[in-house]
Amino acid sequence: MEVYAERSWTDGLPVMPVTESYLSEFLAATGRSPDEVLLAMPHLDRECTVRTAAINAAMAGCRPEYFPVVLAAWSALDEEGYVPRAIWQSTTGTAPMLLVNGPIRERIGVNSRGNVFGSGFRANATIGRAIRLTAINAFGLRPHELDQATQGNPAKYTACIAENEEESPWMPFHVEHGFDAETSTVTALTMRSVAHIEARHTTAPEQLALDLADTIRRTGALIHETISACIALGPEHAELFAQHGWTKDDLRRFVFEHSVNARAALAAVGKDAVSGQTRWRLSGAHPDAVPDSVAGSDQVRVLNSEQALQIVVAGAHNSGVSAVIETFGPRGGPPAIAPIESVPA
């Protein structure tokens, strides 16, 4: 363990030493070739193979049966597209947030209920960590070197949740996006932060939805012209919406329409225009400023479309708490979801 630490093969926490025989157990958990490239970063001339991912998954403390989830996570991250384009080196300091759906949750014990973003569950803790250790060891993204994050965020140790499908009033996230309920999947969400929504006071769906929209529209999140988000609704909040006849699309539409800032509020923080070079928000008084896409409108949406907002159900059914996962980039297209390979037992 000390040798691994001395060689900087760690995120700061102790890692599990890996032998050839232990590695072979991971490689036996997939039908894919050890030399298959999972994700490449051409600007670094580096890539991650199935073998490298397996070594780091073992170092992270994964059990071999978790490895197909790790592999699906790499596929989803590749499809999402931000990682190959160097987002993990950015000053923004993003982290990979993984969402697991389907029967694998129960099979390997991925927590979807109480303390879902917190500690206590080996599968959640180590699957997320496997991705981060690979970023450090395969791509060399160490802080103060190629990882230039100004502050980073706590999810850079690990971030993996499962959807609480059993206590959701709506269809599971992966089924909503065309997968069979019996298929297990991983969704990749490159994220900046998880903001907590405290709303135990209301039985009115409109009030709750406005509370969510108020968090999503915050001006501090605006680097680009628009932002994206994933609402992780606590089951109690999800049930409140469902009891009032709201579908997930009803909620999405309402939050989209109300995630709005007044032009004057944007001007007050110097974000009422965009740069003609980068399209990042800045003051209309800046020499690079050009009008944003809705110039002339006093009400400025922070989401470019309803599809820039995803909704999942996670956490315990014990209070009116939800979260907004602030995802990176404007988005608007379908989420990046990869099926988990099923390996015969």
Per CB under 8 A, residues contacting other proteins are 44-45, 89, 140, 144-146, 148, 287
Instruction: Compute the distance between CA of residue 172 and CA of residue 165 in angstroms, rounded to an integer.
Output: 6
Shortest spacing between CB 46 and other proteins, in angstroms:
8
CA atoms within 13 A on the CB side of 291: 8
Contact 311, 248 (CB under 8 A): yes
Q: Which is nearer to other proteins, 220 or 296 (CB)?
A: 220
Q: Which is nearer to other proteins, 13 or 269 (CB)?
A: 269
Give the count of beta carbons closer than 10 Å to the beta carbon of residue 191: 21
Q: Which is nearer to other proteins, 7 or 144 (CB)?
A: 144
DSSP state of 147: B
Instruction: Compute the distance between CA of residue 146 and CA of residue 272 in angstroms, rounded to an integer.
Output: 33
Shortest spacing between CB 228 and other proteins, in angstroms:
23
Shortest spacing between CB 142 and other proteins, in angstroms:
9
Shortest spacing between CB 146 and other proteins, in angstroms:
5
Shortest spacing between CB 266 and other proteins, in angstroms:
18
Could you tell me the CA-to-CA distances from 169 to 119, 187, 256, 296, 312 in Å, in that order? 26, 20, 21, 40, 11
Instruction: Compute the distance between CA of residue 327 and CA of residue 195 in angstroms, rounded to an integer.
Output: 11
Burial string for 68-86 (b: 16+ CB within 10 Å, else e) reads: bbbbbbbbbbbbbebbbeb
Residue 38 one-letter amino acid: L
Shortest spacing between CB 130 and other proteins, in angstroms:
24
Q: Which is nearer to other proteins, 122 or 286 (CB)?
A: 286
Classify the phi-psi angles of 280: left when phi > 0, otherwise alpha if psi is within -120 to 50, otherwise beta: beta
Give the count of beta carbons closer than 10 Å to the beta carbon of residue 152: 17
Q: Which is nearer to other proteins, 36 or 145 (CB)?
A: 145
Give the count of beta carbons closer than 10 Å to the beta carbon of residue 187: 26
Shortest spacing between CB 189 and other proteins, in angstroms:
25
Shortest spacing between CB 278 and other proteins, in angstroms:
10
Q: Which is nearer to other proteins, 148 or 305 (CB)?
A: 148
Contact 185, 105 (CB under 8 A): no
Q: Which is nearer to other proteins, 41 or 116 (CB)?
A: 41
Q: Which is nearer to other proteins, 140 or 320 (CB)?
A: 140
Classify the phi-psi angles of 144: left when phi > 0, otherwise alpha if psi is within -120 to 50, otherwise beta: left
